[in-house]
């Protein structure tokens, strides 16, 4: 077996901050069609979840995602249960009219808020299912230039409703230098357009190691990721998850090659609790207030 650390092998630190009972964490992937969203989900879960490869003709590519669908896995770590869900969305560009391509996504996020509110209003609030989106991975095409108008538009529609985490898709198609320049440009564009992305908080009373880890992760945003659910062999004979090129292999789990490991670490370890907290106390509360005001309550 390969030495990947999938969601199924979460390090113990996940539960560092909270979590006595079972809880839910839900991430969503958003972005243009063909940027590797479905592939990254499979990479995160460390398995080919859909479609079953056998049913595809040998040459077939992964079919494009046509509906919002979610994949869940129950994880148990040190006696703590975690239900992890990733919501896959159809990419923009799959529709004739992309003007309001963000609408079904926003509706989905808000429907989850609605469901939570409805549960909170019940007499018996013992068993609330938290299906709210705690993190939204926004995939940016690796053009090496700048954010596209559609990215700006979609992120602006989403940033008040969800923790946005920008990601450079298919980073294996850029050189290290191009990635570094593109990251700086993306951050500048995001600031210029007043888009709010998830800010990783740091705590003064944390130990040095935790602060160093947090700063390291923050420095990688927007994460440059490579997804692959295939095993390839490196020139020195190691079997790894990655993508093979005539000039070599780009390894998914190698931090010198891409930021996949850091992204996963942020989601399931370092900032899972902060992502849940911000969703609950800021994003959900703002939505709730707006909704009540609009109803004249």
Residue from 170, 183, 220, 264 binding ligand GDP (CB under 6 A)? 170
Tell the smallest beta-carbon distance from residue 71 to Mg ion (Å).
12
Instruction: Please list every residue from 241 through 280 that binds ligand GDP, using CB under 6 A.
Output: 243
Contact partner at residue 36 from Mg ion, ligand GDP, none, CB < 5 to 8 Å by partner kind: ligand GDP
Q: For residues 38 and 42, which CB has a smaller minimum distance to Mg ion in the complex?
A: 38
Segment 16 to 45, residues that bind ligand GDP, using CB under 6 A: 33-39
Please identify the residue of the shown chain whose CB is closest to the bound ligand GDP.
36
Q: Is residue 226 a contact point for ligand GDP (CB under 6 A)?
A: yes
Least Cβ distance, residue 35 to Mg ion (angstroms): 9
CB of 253 to ligand GDP, least distance (A): 13
Residue 43 lies near Mg ion (rule: CB under 5 A): no
Query: Do residues 91 and 37 make contact, with C-beta atoms less than 8 angstroms apart?
Result: yes
Strands 69-77 and 164-168: unpaired
Give the chain as a 3 state SS string: CCCCCCHHHCCHHHHCCCCCCCEEEEEEEEEECCCCHHHHHHHHHCCCCCCCHHHCCCCCCCCCCCCCEEEEEEEEECCEEEEEEEEECCCECCCCCCCCCCHHHHHHHHHHHHHHHHHHCCCCCCCCCCCCCCEEEEEECCCCCCCCHHHHHHHHHHCCCCCEEEEECCHHHCCHHHHHHHHHHHHHHHHHCCCCCCCCCCCCCCCHHHHHHHHHHHCCCCEECCCCCCEEECCCCCEEEEEEECCEEEECCCCCCCCHHHHHHHHHHHCHHHHHHHHHHHHHHHHHHHHHHHCCC
Q: Give least dist CB 146 to ligand GDP, A.
A: 20
Residue 140 or 272 with smaller CB distance to ligand GDP: 140
* The one segment of 31-39, 114-122, 172-180, 243-251 that binds Mg ion by CB under 5 A: 31-39
Q: Cβ closer to Mg ion: 39 or 279? A: 39
Q: For the window 55-94, what string marks contact with Mg ion as x by the rule CB under 5 A?
A: ----------x-----------------------------
Q: Write out the binding residues for Mg ion, residues 148-167 only, by CB under 5 A.
A: none
Residues that bind ligand GDP (CB under 6 A): 33-39, 61-62, 64-65, 91, 170, 172-173, 226-227, 243
């Amino acid at each position: 077996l390969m030495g990947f650390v999938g969601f199924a092998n979460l390090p113990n630190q996940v539960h560092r901050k909270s979590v006595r009972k079972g809880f839910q964490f839900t991430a969503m992937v958003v972005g243009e069609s063909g940027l590797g969203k479905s592939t990254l989900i499979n990479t995160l879960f460390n398995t080919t979840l859909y479609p079953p490869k056998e049913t595809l003709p040998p040459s077939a590519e992964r079919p494009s995602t046509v509906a919002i669908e979610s994949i869940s896995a129950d994880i148990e770590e040190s006696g703590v249960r975690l239900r992890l869900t990733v919501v896959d969305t159809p990419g923009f560009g799959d529709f004739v009219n992309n003007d309001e391509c963000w609408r079904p996504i926003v509706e989905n996020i808000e429907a989850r808020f609605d469901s939570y509110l409805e549960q909170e209003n019940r007499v018996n609030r013992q068993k609330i299912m938290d299906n709210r989106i705690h993190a939204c991975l926004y995939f940016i095409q690796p053009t090496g230039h700048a954010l596209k108008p559609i990215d700006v538009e979609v992120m602006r529609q989403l940033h008040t409703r969800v923790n946005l985490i920008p990601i450079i898709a298919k980073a294996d198609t850029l050189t290290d230098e191009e990635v570094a320049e593109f990251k700086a440009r993306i951050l500048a564009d995001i600031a210029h357009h007043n888009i709010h992305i998830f800010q990783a908080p740091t705590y003064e009373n944390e130990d040095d190691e935790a602060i160093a880890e947090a700063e390291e992760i923050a420095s990688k945003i927007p994460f440059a990721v490579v997804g692959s659910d295939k095993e390839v062999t490196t020139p020195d004979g190691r079997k790894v998850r990655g993508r093979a090129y005539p000039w070599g292999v780009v390894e998914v789990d190698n931090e010198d090659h891409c930021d996949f490991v850091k992204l996963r670490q942020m989601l399931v370890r370092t900032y899972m609790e902060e992502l849940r907290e911000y969703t609950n106390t800021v994003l959900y509360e703002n939505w709730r207030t707006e909704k009540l005001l609009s109803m004249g309550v």
